[in-house]
Structure 1
């Protein structure tokens, strides 16, 4: 099996690519290296460029007509940055994503796994969410994910693409063989900030002291990025069985 991973030089995409290699799946990497790291593409088929570049997408499919599916991890993901630069986030995560979908459909791509976010949910009274939770994205970043999922759902109804959207919180960790890991030197997530504080001898700042928890501090759920990579692989292997009739007609959401 051969798959195209958009954003395959980033933290999540490169880890998915590593897991694919271990499972006998050949990853084709597409990344513009705005946040991805070139060293994460070493030894892999790599195309440097943007998902909005139709000529490049055509070239990839012409050279690899046996691509089975596309995994879309191409997005900007930093919440504070999205608040400061919403136009950039809507351009990169939504406008360019729509162009990418057009390029895929033109090249007869039939299977797409979208790497989404559980941040689009409204948390219940117990702070838990599932696939039936209402949507209430609270940042420009999460709103780009929710908006793009609306686009995906509408396209799926036409039969042009079979689409699975994976929604998850806070991936952390690294490929166990250390082939890839976080791509930013100054992390913004809580665990990364904690490690950074330890490394530089700084005080780790706790955000909030009045949450309804035992000590008033916030609780964060994390998923190991290697588990997340294998969730993508299991979705790839079961893609066609997720749909009751054919892989072109429906849209699935999985947490």
Structure 2
């Protein structure tokens, strides 16, 4: 099996690529390197460019006519930035993805796995959700993911493509073999800020301490990025079951929350 991984030089995409290779699945990487690292991408057949560059997509698909599926990880993902620049997020995460889908369909690639987010859900009173929980995105970033999910569901209904949306909670960790890892030098999540503070010899400050959690700090469901990657491989290997009826949604998390103080 051969799979095209968009954003395959980023933190999650590069880890998925390694996991695919370990499982005997050949990854082909497409990345614009706006955040991804070339050293992560060049381990495999790698193309530099935008997911909406039709000429580039045609070249990739012509040179690899045996691509069986796409794992789509290329997206803007910073929530505060999405609030400040919503049009850029909708353009990149929805508009450009539609161009990608149109080109894939034209070349007969009919299996699509979306890197989505659990932030599409309506926050519940007990903070627990499953795939049937109400959806109510709280940011342009989350809304852009939900809109693309809707696009995929509608396209799947035509029978021209099948898709699975994997809604992630909070990826953490690195490839156990350390082939790839967190590539962002200024990560915005809690663990990244802890590491940055440690490296700088500074104290790590918990800014929110009055949340309705067991110790007042923020609560997150952390999933190891390698488990996340293994889930993508499992979906590829069982795609028809995962996309039963043409479209499927699967949450990827542990169901166990960890507070910022517990993480620290």
* Matched residue, 2:88: 88
In the superposition, the TM-score normalised over structure 2's length comes to: 0.92
Match of residue 140 from structure 1 = 140
Report the alpha carbon displacement of residue 207 of structure 1 after superposing the two structures with TM. 2.9
State the match for 1:181 in structure 2: 181
Superposed CA offset, 1:129-167 (max 9, x none)? 110110111111111101111111111101111000000
In structure 2, the gaps of 5 or more residues are: 252-264
Q: TM-score, normalised on structure 1?
A: 0.95
Gaps of 5+ in 1: none
The SS at the match of 1:109 is: coil
Question: 1:207 & 1:136 partners in 2: Cα distance?
Answer: 25
Are 2:211 and 1:215 aligned? no
Query: Pairwise CA RMSD of aligned residues?
Result: 1.1
Post-superposition offset of 1:57: 1.1
The 2-side partners of 1:43 and 1:187 are apart by 24
Say whether 1:121 aligns with 2:121.
Answer: yes
The separation in 2 between residues aligned to 1:36 and 1:242, in whole angstroms, is 28
| Aligned residues of 1:29 and 1:46 also touching (Cα < 8 A) | yes
SS at 1:116 equivalent: strand
Larger displacement relative to structure 2 (220-229 or 35-44): 35-44
Partner of 2:249: 253
Matches within 5 A, 1:65-76: 65-76=65-76
8 Å Cα contact 2:82/2:140 also seen in 1 = yes
Residues 163 and 243 in structure 2, CA contact (< 8 A), matched pair in contact too = no
SS, match of residue 52 in structure 1:
coil
Deviations 1:11-62 (A, max 9, x none): 1110000001111111000011111110101321001111101111111111
What's 2:56 paired with?
Answer: 56
Distance 1:56 1:222, change over 3 A: same
In the superposition, relative to structure 1, how do residues 214 and 243 fare at CA in structure 2: closer, same or farther (>3 Å)? closer
Richer in strand (by share): 2
Distance 1:64 1:23 in 2: 19
Number of residues of Structure 1 aligned to a counterpart in Structure 2 = 251
Q: Is the 8 A contact 1:7 1:13 kept in 2?
A: yes
Residues 56-94 of structure 1 show CA distances to partners (whole Å, capped at 9, x for unaligned) of 111111111111111000101111111122121111111
Distance 2:22 2:209 in 1: 43
2:24 — aligned with what?
Answer: 24
User: SS at 2:28's partner residue?
Assistant: strand
Offset of 1:243 from its aligned partner? 4.6
Kindly indicate whether the alpha-carbon contact (under 8 Å) linking 1:207 and 1:218 is maintained by their aligned counterparts in 2.
no
Shift of 1:215: 2.2
